[in-house]
C-alpha cells in the first residue's frame, strides 16, 4: 500500500475508502469529509474510525451520562471529576485518592488470559497517569453457568490473567466478585478497578500545554497488538459461531509495566511533565488527539520516530496499534535531559516524537510527508453523538406480574437442607479457589480483602488513615427494574463501605449492557443511568468517572443489564475498623433493618429458575441513616462485628460470619424461612457485647432503623431455631463447590 | 541463514507439572496418542555466517551458565539450517 | 545495624522488607541492582517479587547483576544474607545454596497464610525462634517447589540445614516440605514464605515474621 498523504487526498477526492470495514457509518464518513474539507487520508480515516467507535467516543451513552455532571452534588472533596483519565477525591491529611473501574469484556472472551491481564494493565495505567502510585486492584467478574463448558474455558484463564498481571505489578487484590448466570455465557464480563494515592500537589492532567514543549513516547515498543481492537471488537456483537476475531487481541507484559510505574513515579516526583496520557484503547490516535485537545490546541508528530517491535507496520497500523505499557508525556525542553536519564536508569525505551504547537492542527508526518492534519477536538471530543431510540421492552410489564413460587423451609430438616443447598451454590460458595491466586499482601498495607465486605488499604503508616472500596451489581434487579436496580446497587456498595465504619465519598461505575441499537437495551441503559445519577445526588456522592461497555450480546440476545457500581470511602484510623465477623462466644447478634418479602430477583428464586417479580424500591433516605448508624457503631465502639446482607439473604450472611473465624452462633427467627431467604435491601447483622445494648438501641432509635435481636455467638454449630448445622458440615458444603468445578 | 538451537528440558527425575497438565488435556480433546508429555524450552541463536566450532563451544558454555539451570535441567546444542 | 535491601527491576517486596527491618530495630539501606557498592551494610536481604519478570527462569538474570558480586563475596566471608521468595530463587541460581525452585505442583499462583515449623535456630536469621516453634506467615508464589537430587536432600537433612518446613498439606510440591534452607556456615538463608508480611496482625496473619529480622540484629551485635 503506497503512502496516502494529505496532498494526495486533496488531489484525488473521490478515491474509494474502506470506511465501513473500519466500523464507520456512511453519515459519519460524510461528516469527516465535511470537517476536513476533503476526503481523509487513510491514516486520518484510521484515527477517526477508532476514536469515533462506541468504546472510545461513547457516542450512544454521552447524552445519558451527562446526568452525572448535571445532577452532581457540589462537593469540595472532588478534586478531579469526569473527563480525565480517572476521578480524584480528597481524603484528608493532604492525600488525594484516584480510582476507576473499566471493562475488558470482549477481549477476554477471545483470549481469556491476555484479555483479563491487559484489562488490569489498562486500568492501572489510567491511575498512574493521574500522578498516583497504584496501591490496589479489584476484579468484578461474571461468567456463564459454572458447569458450562465455555465457563471452564474462560474462567481459569481470566483468573490466571488477573492474578498474573496484578501480582507481577505488586498490587494487592483487595476484593471483587465472581458471579455466574446464563446471561453471560458467550459474554463474560471482566471489570477491573484500580486505586491510587498521591499528595494533592502530585495530580497530573492530560493536557499538552505550552507551544514548543516536547511530545515524548516512552514504555514498550509498538507492535501489531490489538489493531482495530476498539472498533472491531468492542463496538460489534459476536457472531454466534464463536471467536474468530483473534488478530485484534493485545498481549501484555506486566514486568514492563512495573518498570514503567517506578520510572514514571520518579519522573513525577521531580516534576518533569506538563501533561501525561497513557496509551490504551486507540493507542497513539487517542493519546495525541486527547493531549492536543486538552492543551494549547495543536501538536506536530513525526510518526516514523515511534520505536517499533515490528518494522513492517504501516502508519495506519501504528496509529491504531494497542500495544500495551506505553505512555505519552509532554515535557518542557529544559527538563528533557533529566527525563531521559530516569528512563535510562530503568532501561525504559523513550523517544521524542513531536512538539506542542499553537493553533488547531494535529499534524502527523511520515518520513517528511504530511499524512494527518486534523483539528484534534474533532477526533477526541466532537465525535458523533447519538440520541438512540429507546422503548420500554414488553417483558417489563410481563415479568412484574409473575408470582414467585419457591419452597420456603419450615421444619428443622428443611431449614438445614435449604441453608446447605444455598451456601453451596456457585454464586454464594467460598471463592478461595479464585482469590488464593491473587497476592493480597504486597505493599504491606492491606487491612481488608476477600471475603470481607470491602477492600481496605492503609495510606499513611503513621496516622493509619485508610480507604475502603467495594463494587456491587445486581443484574436480577436491574433486569426487573433498571432504575431501581442501579440505585440498589449504589446503596449496597455504600453499605459495604460503611459496615467496616468507613464513610462513603465517591462513586465510579462500569455499565455493561447489550447493543445500543436495540431500543429495549437503550431503555435499560437510560433508566440505569438515571437511577444512578438520581441516587448519587440523593446520597451526596459524586460520580468521578467510569466506563461503558456496550454490545455485550451474542446475536440478538443481550446480557441482563449489569451496571457495576464502585464506591470509595475513607476511614481515619484503620485500626478501629469494625471487622466483618466475631471470634468470641457470648456476643449478642442483632439484625438492623426490617425484613419484608423480597424474593423476586433473589438467589433462591434464581436457583428455582424464577427470574420474574417486582424488584424492591430503594429507600435511600433510610439507607443513609443506616450508613450513619454503621459509622457511629465504629466511632462509638459499639460494634464488635458488622456484615451486610445481599445475595443469599440472612442465610448467606450468617454462614459467612460463623465460618470466618470458626465461631458458631445460635439464632432464633420468626417466620424463619422467609427471613432467611428474603433479600430485602438495607440490612446488616451486627455483633455487640451485651454492655453495648443500651448504646445500640439508642443509636438505632435515633436513626430510625429497625432493630431485632436474633441470637448469640458461641459453639461449634450454626443453630437456627431447631435446625443445627455443625461448622464442619457448613464449611464442607461452602468450600467444596469451586474445587469440584474447576479442579 | 543458519541458527544454533539450544533445547532445554527438565531432568527426567524433576517433577514437570506443566507437562503433566498438557498430558491430561490431550485426551479431553480426543487425542489419545500420548503416554507422557514433558515441556521444555527452545532457544534459537542467530550468528553471522556458518557457526564455527569456537562459537558452538561458547554456546555450550552460555547454555550451562545462563540458558539452563544445570541443577534441574539438561540441554542439547545443534545447528539448524 | 544497617541491613541492605536490594531492588532489581521488578522487585516488589523491597519496601516491605525495609519496613520489617526498621520495625525490628534495624536501619534499612536501599541497594540498587546496578550499583556494585554495599555502602557498609552489615547484612543483605534479597526480597520477593518478579525480578526481570521471571524471564528465562526466576532469578536467573538478577543473579548476574553488578550488586551481586560484592554480595556473594561478602556472604562467602560470613555476612548474613537472606533471600525471600524471589530472593531464594536468586540464591539458588547463584549457587550460594543448593537446589532449585520450580513451578508449584498445582500450577497456580498460591497466596495463603502458611504454618511453618522452625527447625534450625542456629542460623543468623532464625536465632530468635525456639527449636520446633510453629509460626504463621504468608506464602505467595507460583514457583515455590524446592527441588534437589537425593544426595543433596540427604545432606541437607543429615546436616540439619533445613531451617523451616511446611506444616500440613504440601502447598507447592517442595521435597520433604522444605520451606527454607541454610548454607553450611548458617549465614545464608533462603526462605520461600514472606516474614516481612507478618510483622503485625493489622496487616498480616501474625507478628511471627519479625523473628527473622530480630535474629540478624542479635547476630550482628555479637
In order of A53, A79, A547, B59, C31, the CA distances from A66 in angstroms are 19, 19, 13, 63, 50
Kindly state whether B67 is in contact with chain C, defined as any CB-CB distance less than 8 angstroms.
Answer: yes
Share of chain A above pLDDT 90, in %: 86
Would you call the peptide bond into A451 cis, given omega within 30 degrees of 0 as the criterion?
yes
C55 interaction partners in chain A (CB closer than 8 Å):
255
CB-nearest to A575 from C34, C112, C202 is C202
In order of A89, A138, A377, A390, C103, the CA distances from A570 in angstroms are 10, 17, 37, 38, 39
Do the chains contact at C105 and B17, CB–CB below 8 Å?
A: yes
Helical segments of A1-91, H only: 6-11, 26-36, 42-51, 54-57, 62-70
Establish, for the pair of chains B and C, how many residue pairs have beta carbons separated by less than 8 Å.
Answer: 36
The residue-averaged pLDDT of C99-109 equals 96
Exposed/middle/buried for residue A729 (C-beta within 10 Å: 0-12, 13-18, 19+): middle
Q: How many CA atoms lie within 13 A of A54 on its CB side?
A: 23
C148 interaction partners in chain B (CB closer than 8 Å):
71
Looking at chain B, which residue has its C-alpha nearest residue C97? B71
The residue-averaged pLDDT of A411-422 equals 98
In this predicted structure, the answer to whether residue A129 has a pLDDT above a threshold of 70 is yes
Q: Nearest-CA distance from C176 to chain B in Å?
A: 14
- A68-72, A311-315, C69-73: which has the highest mean pLDDT? C69-73
Task: Please report which helix (H) or strand (E) contains residue A19, including its range.
Answer: none
What does DSSP say about strands A588-592 and A543-549: parallel, antiparallel, or unpaired? unpaired
Do the chains contact at A441 and C49, CB–CB below 8 Å?
A: no
The residue-averaged pLDDT of C54-61 equals 94
Looking at chain C, which residue has its C-alpha nearest residue B42? C56
The residue-averaged pLDDT of C92-107 equals 96
Among the residue ranges A215-219, A291-295, A415-419, B5-9, the one predicted with the least confidence is: A291-295
What are the catalytic residues of A? 55, 104
Predicted local distance difference test score (pLDDT) of residue A313:
87
| Structural domains of chain B, with CATH | 3-80 (3.30.1280.10)
Query: In angstroms, what is the C-alpha Rg of chain C?
Result: 15
Establish, for the pair of chains A and C, how many residue pairs have beta carbons separated by less than 8 Å.
Answer: 84
**Residue A231's closest CA among A177, A285, A308?**
A285
Q: Give the count of beta carbons closer than 10 Å to the beta carbon of residue A223.
A: 19
What does DSSP say about strands A665-667 and A588-592: parallel, antiparallel, or unpaired? unpaired
Task: Give the per-residue SS3 of A91-122.
Answer: EECCEEEEEEEEECHHHHHHCHHHHHHHHHHH
Interface residue of B17, B24, B45 to substitute, partner C, most C CBs within 10 Å: B17
For residues B16 and B38, is the Cβ–Cβ distance under 8 A? yes
Do the chains contact at B71 and C56, CB–CB below 8 Å?
A: no
C65 interaction partners in chain B (CB closer than 8 Å):
none
**Residue A702's closest CA among A625, A627, A641, A642?**
A625
For residues A550 and A60, is the Cβ–Cβ distance under 8 A? yes
Q: How many CA atoms lie within 13 A of B76 on its CB side?
A: 7
What does DSSP say about strands C27-32 and C2-7: parallel, antiparallel, or unpaired? parallel
Predicted local distance difference test score (pLDDT) of residue A233:
47
Kindly state whether A254 is in contact with chain C, defined as any CB-CB distance less than 8 angstroms.
Answer: yes
Among the residue ranges A202-206, A737-741, C215-219, the one predicted with the least confidence is: A202-206
The subunits that touch chain A, with at least 3 C-beta pairs less than 8 Å apart, are: C
Q: What are A56's three cell numbers?
A: 472510545
Integer Cα distance of A90 and A260 in angstroms: 26
Kindly state whether C63 is in contact with chain A, defined as any CB-CB distance less than 8 angstroms.
Answer: no
The per-residue pLDDT for range A255-279, each reduced to its tens digit, is 999 999 999 999 999 999 999 999 9
CB-nearest to B15 from C56, C93, C105 is C105
CB-nearest to B17 from C56, C60, C107 is C107
pLDDT category of residue A242 using cuts at 50, 70 and 90: very low
Integer Cα distance of B8 and B41 in angstroms: 5
What are the φ and ψ backbone dihedral angles of C13, each rounded to 5 degrees?
A: -100, 25
Q: What are A399's three cell numbers?
A: 415479568
Exposed/middle/buried for residue A54 (C-beta within 10 Å: 0-12, 13-18, 19+): buried
Integer Cα distance of A257 and A409 in angstroms: 53
Angle at CA B60, nearest 5°, toward B56 and B66? 130
Q: How far out from the chain centre does Cα B74 lie?
A: 8
Predicted local distance difference test score (pLDDT) of residue A225:
83
CB-nearest to B69 from C60, C107, C173 is C60
Mean pLDDT taken over chain A: 94
Share of chain C above pLDDT 90, in %: 98
In this predicted structure, the answer to whether residue A247 has a pLDDT above a threshold of 60 is no
CB-nearest to A255 from C50, C140, C202 is C50
Q: Give the count of beta carbons closer than 10 Å to the beta carbon of residue A586.
A: 10
Do the chains contact at A439 and C196, CB–CB below 8 Å?
A: no
Kindly state whether C53 is in contact with chain A, defined as any CB-CB distance less than 8 angstroms.
Answer: yes
Q: How far out from the chain centre does Cα A270 lie?
A: 31
Predicted local distance difference test score (pLDDT) of residue A229:
52
Integer Cα distance of A139 and A209 in angstroms: 35
CB-nearest to C203 from A259, A437, A444 is A444
CB-nearest to B72 from C64, C100, C106 is C100
The residue-averaged pLDDT of C197-214 equals 98
Do the chains contact at C109 and A437, CB–CB below 8 Å?
A: yes
Integer Cα distance of A285 and A330 in angstroms: 16
pLDDT category of residue A195 using cuts at 50, 70 and 90: very high
Task: Please report which helix (H) or strand (E) contains residue A22, including its range.
Answer: none
In this predicted structure, the answer to whether residue A400 has a pLDDT above a threshold of 90 is yes
Kindly state whether C155 is in contact with chain B, defined as any CB-CB distance less than 8 angstroms.
Answer: no
For residues A159 and C107, is the Cβ–Cβ distance under 8 A? no
pLDDT category of residue A76 using cuts at 50, 70 and 90: confident
Q: What are C161's three cell numbers?
A: 540445614
Beta bridge partners of A326: A219
Integer Cα distance of A41 and A140 in angstroms: 41
Predicted local distance difference test score (pLDDT) of residue A72:
84
Looking at chain C, which residue has its C-alpha nearest residue A442? C13
What are the catalytic residues of C? 85, 194, 196
Beta bridge partners of A369: A366
For every residue of C89-158, DSSP letters joined together read HHHHHTTSSSSEEE--TT-S-EEEEEEEEE----STTTTTSPTT-EEEEEEEESS-EEE--HHHHHHHHH
B72 interaction partners in chain C (CB closer than 8 Å):
100, 102, 147
Q: Which residue has the cell 541454610?
A: C182
CB-nearest to A436 from C16, C34, C111 is C111
Predicted local distance difference test score (pLDDT) of residue A294:
86
Do the chains contact at C111 and A575, CB–CB below 8 Å?
A: no
C93 interaction partners in chain B (CB closer than 8 Å):
69
* Exposure string for A303-318, b = 16+ CB within 10 A, e = fewer: beebebeeeebbbbbb
A133 interaction partners in chain C (CB closer than 8 Å):
none
Beta bridge partners of A101: A193
B71 interaction partners in chain C (CB closer than 8 Å):
92, 95, 98-100, 147-148
Kindly state whether C176 is in contact with chain B, defined as any CB-CB distance less than 8 angstroms.
Answer: no
C111 interaction partners in chain A (CB closer than 8 Å):
435-441
In this predicted structure, the answer to whether residue A1 has a pLDDT above a threshold of 90 is no
B14 interaction partners in chain C (CB closer than 8 Å):
102, 147
Angle at CA A125, nearest 5°, toward A124 and A126? 90
Q: What are C112's three cell numbers?
A: 495463603
What does DSSP say about strands A446-448 and A723-726: parallel, antiparallel, or unpaired? unpaired
What are the φ and ψ backbone dihedral angles of A176, each rounded to 5 degrees?
A: 165, -160
Query: In angstroms, what is the C-alpha Rg of chain A?
Result: 26
pLDDT category of residue A246 using cuts at 50, 70 and 90: very low
Domain boundaries, chain C: 2-221
**Residue A366's closest CA among A41, A37, A16, A49?**
A41
For residues A622 and A491, is the Cβ–Cβ distance under 8 A? no
Integer Cα distance of A339 and A221 in angstroms: 18
Phi-psi label, residue C92: left if phi above 0, alpha if psi -120 to 50, beta otherwise: alpha
Q: How far out from the chain centre does Cα A193 lie?
A: 5
Query: In angstroms, what is the C-alpha Rg of chain B?
Result: 16
Q: How many CA atoms lie within 13 A of C168 on its CB side?
A: 9
Predicted local distance difference test score (pLDDT) of residue A21:
87
Do the chains contact at B17 and C148, CB–CB below 8 Å?
A: no
In this predicted structure, the answer to whether residue A426 has a pLDDT above a threshold of 80 is yes
Q: What are C54's three cell numbers?
A: 521471571
**Residue A189's closest CA among A645, A661, A650, A549?**
A549
Predicted local distance difference test score (pLDDT) of residue A245:
39
Predicted local distance difference test score (pLDDT) of residue B29:
86
The per-residue pLDDT for range A20-43, each reduced to its tens digit, is 988 899 999 999 999 999 999 999
Do the chains contact at C92 and B13, CB–CB below 8 Å?
A: no
In this predicted structure, the answer to whether residue A385 has a pLDDT above a threshold of 60 is yes
In chain C, which among 193-222 make CB contacts under 8 A with chain B? none
Do the chains contact at B71 and C102, CB–CB below 8 Å?
A: no
Helix (H, G, I), strand (E, B) or coil at C13: coil
For residues A320 and A285, is the Cβ–Cβ distance under 8 A? yes
The residue-averaged pLDDT of A189-215 equals 92
In this predicted structure, the answer to whether residue A73 has a pLDDT above a threshold of 90 is no
In this predicted structure, the answer to whether residue C107 has a pLDDT above a threshold of 60 is yes
Looking at chain C, which residue has its C-alpha nearest residue B72? C100
Q: What are A121's three cell numbers?
A: 494493565
The subunits that touch chain B, with at least 3 C-beta pairs less than 8 Å apart, are: C
In order of A69, A226, C108, the CA distances from A157 in angstroms are 37, 19, 11
Helix (H, G, I), strand (E, B) or coil at A477: helix
Kindly state whether C105 is in contact with chain A, defined as any CB-CB distance less than 8 angstroms.
Answer: no
**Topology given in CATH for the domain delimited by C2-221:** Rossmann fold (3.40.50)
Integer Cα distance of C50 and A715 in angstroms: 44
Residue A207 or A398, more confident: A398
Amino acid at each position: 500500500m503506497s503512502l496516502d498523504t494529505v496532498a494526495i487526498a486533496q488531489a484525488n477526492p473521490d478515491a474509494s475508502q474502506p470506511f465501513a470495514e473500519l466500523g464507520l457509518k456512511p453519515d459519519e464518513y460524510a461528516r469527516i469529509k465535511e470537517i476536513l474539507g476533503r476526503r481523509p487520508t487513510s491514516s486520518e480515516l484510521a484515527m477517526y474510525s477508532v476514536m469515533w467507535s462506541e468504546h472510545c467516543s461513547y457516542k450512544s451513552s454521552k447524552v445519558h451520562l451527562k446526568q452525572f455532571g448535571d445532577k452532581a452534588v457540589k462537593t469540595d472533596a472532588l478534586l478531579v471529576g469526569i473527563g480525565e483519565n480517572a476521578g480524584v477525591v480528597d481524603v484528608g491529611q493532604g492525600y488525594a485518592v484516584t480510582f476507576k473501574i473499566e471493562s475488558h469484556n470482549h477481549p477476554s472472551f477471545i483470549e481469556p488470559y491476555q484479555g483479563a491481564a491487559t484489562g488490569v494493565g489498562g486500568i492501572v495505567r489510567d491511575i498512574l497517569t493521574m500522578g498516583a502510585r497504584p496501591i490496589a486492584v479489584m476484579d468484578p467478574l461474571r461468567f456463564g453457568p459454572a458447569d458450562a463448558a465455555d465457563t471452564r474455558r474462560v474462567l481459569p484463564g481470566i483468573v490466571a490473567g488477573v492474578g498474573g498481571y496484578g501480582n507481577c505489578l505488586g498490587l494487592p487484590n483487595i476484593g471483587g466478585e465472581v458471579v455466574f448466570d446464563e446471561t453471560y455465557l458467550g459474554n463474560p464480563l471482566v471489570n477491573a478497578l484500580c486505586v491510587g494515592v498521591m499528595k494533592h500537589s502530585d495530580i497530573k492532567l492530560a493536557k499538552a500545554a505550552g507551544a514548543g514543549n516536547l511530545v515524548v513516547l516512552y514504555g514498550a515498543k509498538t507492535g501489531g497488538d490489538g489493531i482495530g481492537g476498539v472498533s472491531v471488537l468492542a463496538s460489534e456483537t459476536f457472531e454466534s459461531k464463536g471467536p474468530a476475531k483473534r488478530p485484534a487481541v493485545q498481549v501484555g507484559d506486566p514486568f514492563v509495566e512495573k518498570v514503567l510505574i517506578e520510572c514514571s513515579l520518579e519522573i513525577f516526583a521531580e516534576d518533569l511533565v506538563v501533561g501525561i496520557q497513557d496509551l490504551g484503547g486507540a493507542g497513539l490516535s487517542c493519546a495525541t488527539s486527547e493531549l492536543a485537545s486538552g492543551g494549547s490546541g495543536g501538536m506536530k508528530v513525526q510518526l516514523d520516530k515511534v520505536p517499533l517491535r515490528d518494522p513492517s507496520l504501516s502508519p495506519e497500523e501504528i496509529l491504531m496499534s494497542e500495544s500495551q505499557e506505553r505512555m505519552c508525556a509532554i515535557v518542557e525542553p529544559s527538563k528533557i535531559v533529566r527525563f531521559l536519564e530516569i528512563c535510562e536508569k530503568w532501561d525504559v525505551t523513550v523517544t521524542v516524537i513531536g512538539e506542542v504547537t499553537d493553533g488547531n492542527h494535529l499534524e502527523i508526518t511520515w518520513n517528511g510527508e504530511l499524512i494527518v492534519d486534523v483539528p484534534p477536538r474533532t477526533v477526541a471530543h466532537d465525535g458523533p453523538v447519538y440520541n438512540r431510540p429507546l422503548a420500554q421492552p414488553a417483558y417489563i410489564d410481563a415479568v412484574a406480574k409473575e408470582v414467585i413460587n419457591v419452597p420456603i423451609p419450615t421444619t428443622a430438616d428443611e431449614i438445614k437442607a435449604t441453608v446447605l443447598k444455598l451456601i453451596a451454590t456457585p454464586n454464594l460458595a467460598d471463592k478461595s479457589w479464585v482469590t488464593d491466586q491473587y497476592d493480597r499482601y504486597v505493599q504491606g498495607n492491606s487491612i481488608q480483602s476477600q471475603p470481607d465486605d470491602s477492600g481496605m488499604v492503609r495510606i499513611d503508616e503513621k496516622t493509619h488513615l485508610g480507604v475502603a472500596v467495594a463494587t456491587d451489581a445486581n443484574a436480577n434487579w436491574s433486569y426487573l427494574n433498571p432504575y431501581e436496580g442501579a440505585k440498589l446497587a449504589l446503596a449496597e456498595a455504600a453499605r459495604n463501605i460503611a459496615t467496616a465504619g468507613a464513610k462513603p465519598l465517591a462513586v465510579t461505575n462500569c455499565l455493561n449492557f447489550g447493543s445500543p441499537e436495540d431500543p429495549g437495551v437503550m431503555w435499560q441503559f437510560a433508566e440505569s443511568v438515571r437511577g444512578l445519577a438520581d441516587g448519587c445526588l440523593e446520597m451526596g456522592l459524586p460520580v468521578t468517572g467510569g466506563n461503558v461497555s456496550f454490545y455485550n450480546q451474542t446475536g440478538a440476545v443481550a446480557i441482563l443489564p449489569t451496571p457495576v457500581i464502585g464506591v470509595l470511602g475513607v476511614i481515619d484510623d484503620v485500626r478501629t475498623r469494625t471487622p466483618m465477623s466475631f471470634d468470641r462466644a457470648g456476643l449478642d447478634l442483632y439484625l438492623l433493618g426490617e425484613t419484608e418479602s423480597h424474593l423476586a430477583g433473589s438467589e433462591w428464586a434464581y436457583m428455582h429458575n424464577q427470574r420474574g417479580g417486582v424488584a424492591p424500591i430503594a429507600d435511600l433516605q433510610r439507607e443513609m441513616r443506616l450508613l450513619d448508624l454503621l459509622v457511629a457503631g465504629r466511632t462509638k465502639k459499639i460494634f464488635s462485628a458488622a456484615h451486610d446482607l445481599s445475595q443469599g439473604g440472612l442465610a448467606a450472611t450468617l454462614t459467612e460470619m460463623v465460618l470466618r473465624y470458626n465461631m458458631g452462633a445460635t439464632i432464633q427467627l420468626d417466620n424463619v424461612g422467609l427471613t432467611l431467604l428474603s433479600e430485602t435491601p438495607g440490612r446488616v447483622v451486627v455483633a455487640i457485647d451485651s454492655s453495648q445494648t443500651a448504646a445500640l438501641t439508642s443509636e438505632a432509635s435515633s436513626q430510625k432503623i429497625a432493630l431485632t435481636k436474633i441470637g448469640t455467638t458461641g459453639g461449634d454449630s450454626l443453630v437456627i431455631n431447631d435446625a443445627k448445622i455443625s461448622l464442619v458440615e457448613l464449611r464442607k458444603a461452602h468450600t467444596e463447590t469451586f474445587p469440584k468445578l474447576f479442579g | 541463514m543458519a541458527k544454533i538451537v539450544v533445547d532445554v528440558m527438565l531432568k527426567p527425575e524433576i517433577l514437570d507439572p506443566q507437562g503433566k497438565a498438557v498430558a491430561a488435556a490431550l485426551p479431553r480433546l480426543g487425542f489419545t496418542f500420548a503416554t507422557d508429555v514433558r515441556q521444555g524450552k527452545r532457544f534459537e541463536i542467530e550468528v553471522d555466517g556458518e557457526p564455527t566450532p569456537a562459537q558452538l563451544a561458547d554456546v555450550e558454555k552460555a547454555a550451562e551458565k545462563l540458558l539452563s539451570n544445570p541443577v534441574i535441567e539438561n540441554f542439547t546444542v545443534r545447528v539448524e539450517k | 545495624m544497617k541491613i541492605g535491601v536490594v531492588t532489581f527491576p521488578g522487585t516488589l517486596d523491597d519496601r516491605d522488607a525495609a519496613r520489617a527491618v526498621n520495625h525490628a530495630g534495624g536501619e534499612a539501606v536501599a541497594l540498587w541492582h546496578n550499583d556494585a557498592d554495599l555502602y557498609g551494610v552489615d547484612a543483605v536481604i534479597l526480597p520477593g517479587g518478579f525480578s526481570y519478570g521471571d524471564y528465562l527462569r526466576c532469578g536467573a538474570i538478577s543473579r548476574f547483576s553488578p550488586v551481586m558480586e560484592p554480595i556473594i563475596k561478602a556472604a562467602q566471608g560470613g555476612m548474613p544474607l537472606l533471600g525471600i521468595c524471589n530472593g531464594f530463587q536468586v540464591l539458588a541460581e547463584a549457587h550460594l545454596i543448593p537446589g532449585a525452585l520450580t513451578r508449584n505442583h498445582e500450577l497456580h499462583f498460591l497466596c495463603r497464610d502458611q504454618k511453618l515449623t522452625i527447625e534450625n535456630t542456629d542460623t543468623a536469621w532464625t536465632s530468635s525462634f525456639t527449636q520446633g516453634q510453629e509460626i504463621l506467615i504468608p506464602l505467595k508464589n507460583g514457583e515455590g517447589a524446592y527441588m534437589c537430587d537425593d544426595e543433596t536432600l540427604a545432606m541437607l537433612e543429615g546436616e540439619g540445614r533445613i531451617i523451616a518446613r511446611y506444616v500440613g498439606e504440601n502447598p507447592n510440591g517442595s521435597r520433604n516440605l522444605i520451606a527454607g534452607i541454610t548454607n553450611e556456615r548458617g549465614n545464608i538463608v533462603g526462605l520461600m514464605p514472606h516474614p516481612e508480611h507478618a510483622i503485625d496482625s493489622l496487616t498480616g496473619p501474625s507478628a511471627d515474621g519479625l523473628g527473622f529480622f530480630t535474629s540478624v540484629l542479635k547476630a550482628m551485635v555479637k
